[in-house]
Structure 1
Amino acid sequence: MFFKPKIFLSSVALLLSLATLFLSSWIILPAPNMFFLTLAVGAPEVSPWLFLLNLLFLLLSLFYIRRRKLQRLVCIFSLIGLLICGWVLINIPPTQMQMAKAMKQGLGANYLEQIPPQVRAKMQIYPFNLVNFFWGIPLGKTRHQKDILFASPGGMPLKMEVYQPPEVGKYPAVVVIYGGAWQYGNTHANTEFNQYIANHGYTVFAIDYRHAPKYQFPSQLDDVRTALNFIRKHAAEYEANSERMVLLGRSAGAHLAMLAAYQADAPPIRAVVNYYGPVDLTEGYKTPPNPDPINSRAVLKAFLGGSLEELPNRYQIASPINYLTHPLPPTLLIYGSRDHLVQARFGRQMYERLHDSNTAVFLEIPWAEHAFDAVFNGVSNQLALYYTERFLAWALFRQ
């Protein structure tokens, strides 16, 4: 029996094209569990790489594979993968235009003119940059301090990390609150984002909070409020301007950011940035996503201490959408249309309620899943970062 290299390589190409199609398919498939959710989150964000791989196998099938059956299979797999990945890529320009329109509607047609030229000069030039996708978004130099103890409720040490611009000065403050279903996570999350923002002229505070189910609501909110008081008290030590502060959170962290900023006795907060955060826990419990890879009701029970039927008042108190009774800080809401943890419809409802009497911007990314910004140089995060830095500059530097 003789080894036939061409047959072997053709078979390998078939397997690799099938694997690439499998990965590409999670751009459109809903994830049934947490394992596949990772693929559903990552696939659209690396779609340019997947597009190139599908194109490579298509060309191999056309010019190298001679066995007709194998050639046909590789060609079919690759064409389907190309169509799926191409859907993301061709939707980048219209999504960017829709986002630009939403920013102008929410902040004013001339909002960019309110940002000082020296601040605008440091921002990303393009909403999506292929060079940055393949080579990474430049982060720049920063100063970084770890393990800063800000509280010890019940003997539980809570710490924060601080990212500062390279030059000594006094900078607006961005307080970052990580996500993790209120049950896990730490201040090391999203370090690339924190470093990038700090390099662009902000003091970034990445804060910790106690986790469910051991600690239930309102412990997490209390910890965020304690952290804000600590930051205000020690602002000068970290070269932060306590009167120019934004809260930015992701998922559960976005929920806490909104709750903290929307309290009637909240400290001065210039704005809130909400990346795919829960806003209505009552409705979230009543109508969980389908599929529901994280088991949303179990997460809410662990966070709040019981079901909606058992604790209806606590679900209401813990829902940011119920705090829209007084003037609130400007709010930027960013959601993925394909989010199967916190559905985009909740962000849209929050925006509809907010923008009647408050400044609000709602940005939706058609192909994005929950935690899309986990891939920092990915397709969705480039768009989100482009408008987030403009929103921050408008909120904290506008003249």
Structure 2
Amino acid sequence: MPRLILLIIFFLISLLAIFRAPQYYLWLLAIMVTEYPLIFVAITSALTAWGYWLTPYRVAGNWVGIIAIVLFLSPIIRAWIVGNDLQKDMATAFTGNGSPAVFPARTPFTFGGLLKTTKAVSHKTMIFAEYPDLKLDLDFYKSTISRPSGEGRNNAPCIIVIHGGSWSSGDSKQLPELNSYLATRGYNIAAINYRKAPKYQTPAPVQDIKQALTYLTKHAVELGIDTSKFILLGRSAGAQIALLAAYTLHDPRIKGVVDFYGPADMVWGYSLPSNPLIMDSRKVMRNYIGGSYDQVPDKFKACSPLEFVDDEAIPTLIIHGDNDVLVSPEHSRRLNQKLAQHNIRHYRLTLPWATHGFDYNLNGPGGQLSTYAVETFLNTIMQ
């Protein structure tokens, strides 16, 4: 009987690989279920095999265990399916509109990759902006690949990373694995901190990105930065900041933007709040924007990246999970549609099983595919 109860519990947990999490802590568990599936497969398999020596409820327990194992494996299977089409889809997206896609010398997803780890690259922290009551710093990861000698050729493009955290929390230390990985692929990384809500409101973080660009350009020689090639990359709230900066600063140094599950339509987003058991999204938005939509409708529109997509918008990579319970994937669908209307070079990677923060594990099903897409995007727009 204890075995059957445990298997039923793991079966219920396995449903998080298929359905959206209904509550905050279940959302955190969903990240583990979908991006560390082998752990849950191993535990459930051991419980199921235990039934070989037990007679009571053997058949029932075996069936429950087998179904749970299949559900735990489903993100891996679906990642393999998505990975098989990823090269073709990205090649199609970037054909006939600028340089063709440039793919990494590896496959988008491998089963063996689930067991790999990412080697950390050291970084140094430096202050890039000073305000009367606050100093902002960034973590700089220098490219580990030597560039050909010659004037300017030893400098690498720089990716400015903007962290998530509902515009009120988080910092530059968030999810550093991708920073290290991209540094080993020939890119400099500047993971920045920015002024946070509710004390600071939009457009303060965008202004902080301008400050970061100024600082990195000023110190480009010592840091080895190609000042003509900056890319913005943001997650969640940081993606909204990155997109808004990319589409409104009109800075020719910014060559592209990467959007990890960001809110692109703040007006629509306020009209359809997230599950209050997970996050009070309207309160989060009011703290960042300075009031409700009824109070400050113009500010909601002014911080909606989608509103600023036009024929001059820069190349964009959108990555979102269909099971995201904090930021609806509808944001990415709407942004994708607007970019297509204006014939902007872009690609949207949709992960059917993934939830918000899926890239916590760079080597998980979602982490492998998103990293491959990011690397392809960067290689392509940096030609």
TM-score (norm 1): 0.88
Structure 2 match to 1:353: 338
**What is the total number of aligned residue pairs between the two structures?**
375
State the alpha-carbon separation in 1 of the partners of residues 243 and 7 from structure 2.
Answer: 44
State the alpha-carbon separation in 1 of the partners of residues 221 and 313 from structure 2.
Answer: 26
Pairwise CA distance, 1:34 = 2.1
Pairwise CA distance, 1:288 = 2.1
The aligned amino acid for 1:304 is I
Q: Alpha carbon RMSD of aligned pairs, Å?
A: 2.2
Structure 1 residue 46 and structure 2 residue 28: aligned?
no
Structure 2 match to 1:164: 142
Structure 1 residue 185 and structure 2 residue 170: aligned?
yes
Equivalent of 1:21, from 11, 16, 22?
A: 11
Structure 1 residue 257 and structure 2 residue 269: aligned?
no
The aligned amino acid for 1:85 is F
Structure 1 residue 295 and structure 2 residue 262: aligned?
no
State the alpha-carbon separation in 1 of the partners of residues 293 and 101 from structure 2.
Answer: 45
Q: Secondary structure at the match of 1:308?
A: coil
Structure 1 match to 2:115: 134
Structure 1 match to 2:124: 145
State the alpha-carbon separation in 1 of the partners of residues 136 and 55 from structure 2.
Answer: 63
Give 1 or 2 for the bigger CA radius of gyration: 1
State the alpha-carbon separation in 2 of the partners of residues 362 and 96 from structure 1.
Answer: 14
Structure 1 match to 2:91: 104
Structure 2 match to 1:155: 133
Cα offsets for 1:220-249 (capped at 9, x unmatched): 111122112211222222111010111111
Structure 1 residue 282 and structure 2 residue 267: aligned?
yes
Q: Is the 8 A contact 1:292 1:340 kept in 2?
A: no
Structure 1 match to 2:74: 87
Pairwise CA distance, 1:291 = 6.4
Q: Is the 8 A contact 1:45 1:380 kept in 2?
A: yes
Structure 1, unpaired ranges of 5+: 1-9
Task: Provide closer, same or farther for how the CA distance between residues 297 and 369 of structure 1 changes in structure 2, counting only shifts above 3 A.
Answer: same
Q: Is the 8 A contact 1:112 1:390 kept in 2?
A: no
Q: Secondary structure at the match of 2:17?
A: coil
Pairwise CA distance, 1:276 = 0.4
Pairwise CA distance, 1:15 = 4.7
Moved over 6 A (4+): 109-114
State the alpha-carbon separation in 1 of the partners of residues 107 and 54 from structure 2.
Answer: 40
State the alpha-carbon separation in 2 of the partners of residues 54 and 366 from structure 1.
Answer: 23
Structure 1 match to 2:62: 75
Pairwise CA distance, 1:130 = 2.3
State the alpha-carbon separation in 2 of the partners of residues 349 and 125 from structure 1.
Answer: 31
Task: Provide closer, same or farther for how the CA distance between residues 165 and 301 of structure 1 changes in structure 2, counting only shifts above 3 A.
Answer: same
State the alpha-carbon separation in 2 of the partners of residues 389 and 258 from structure 1.
Answer: 18
The aligned amino acid for 1:131 is G
State the alpha-carbon separation in 1 of the partners of residues 277 and 90 from structure 2.
Answer: 31
Pairwise CA distance, 1:73 = 4.0
Structure 1 match to 2:362: 376
The aligned amino acid for 1:364 is T
Q: Secondary structure at the match of 1:309?
A: coil
Structure 1 match to 2:150: none
State the alpha-carbon separation in 1 of the partners of residues 183 and 41 from structure 2.
Answer: 33
State the alpha-carbon separation in 2 of the partners of residues 270 and 307 from structure 1.
Answer: 34
Pairwise CA distance, 1:110 = 11
Structure 1 match to 2:149: none
The aligned amino acid for 2:111 is L
Equivalent of 2:54, from 62, 65, 89?
A: 65
Cα offsets for 1:342-388 (capped at 9, x unmatched): 11121011111102321111110000001100122211111111111
The aligned amino acid for 1:133 is L
Task: Provide closer, same or farther for how the CA distance between residues 99 and 290 of structure 1 changes in structure 2, counting only shifts above 3 A.
Answer: farther
Q: Secondary structure at the match of 1:282?
A: helix
The aligned amino acid for 1:205 is A
Q: Is the 8 A contact 1:260 1:266 kept in 2?
A: no
State the alpha-carbon separation in 1 of the partners of residues 19 and 276 from structure 2.
Answer: 10
Task: Provide closer, same or farther for how the CA distance between residues 80 and 351 of structure 1 changes in structure 2, counting only shifts above 3 A.
Answer: same
Pairwise CA distance, 1:158 = 0.2
Structure 2, unpaired ranges of 5+: 147-153
Equivalent of 2:198, from 200, 206, 213?
A: 213
Structure 1 match to 2:379: 393
The aligned amino acid for 2:15 is S
State the alpha-carbon separation in 1 of the partners of residues 377 and 124 from structure 2.
Answer: 26
TM-score (norm 2): 0.91
Pairwise CA distance, 1:296 = 1.0
Q: Is the 8 A contact 2:100 2:380 kept in 1?
A: no
Pairwise CA distance, 1:36 = 1.7
Q: Is the 8 A contact 2:157 2:226 kept in 1?
A: yes
Pairwise CA distance, 1:111 = 8.8
The aligned amino acid for 2:123 is H
